[in-house]
Amino acid sequence: MAMNADFMEDSIELDTVHTVDPGTILIIEDDPRIQKVLRRIFIEEHYAVVVAGYGQTG
């Protein structure tokens, strides 16, 4: 019976999934079309995205 308990503990550990937050990307770009494309690419990769139209706001 002790073997079953050990096996269950091991399988519980294996079932645990750890996700990693890739971080935040700051896009500084004055062309709205490029902003949109870059934002979409990074969001698809699960990054948080902040967009600034020019360097002073970034």
Question: pLDDT tens-digit profile of 35-48?
Answer: 999 999 999 999 99
Residue 5 within any structural domain of the chain: no
Residue 50 within any structural domain of the chain: yes
Total-model pTM: 0.60
Domain holding 32, by residue range, is: 19-58
Residue 46 within any structural domain of the chain: yes
Measured distance CA(43)–CA(24) in Å, rounded: 10
Where does the pLDDT of residue 27 fall: very low under 50, low under 70, confident under 90, or very high at 90 and above? very high
Residue 6 within any structural domain of the chain: no
19-48 CB burial, b ≥16 within 10 A, e <16: eeeeeebebebeeeeebeebbeebeeeeee
Residue 14 within any structural domain of the chain: no
Amino acid present at 13: E
Residue 4 within any structural domain of the chain: no
Amino acid present at 38: L
- Count how many domains the chain has: 1
Measured distance CA(54)–CA(35) in Å, rounded: 11
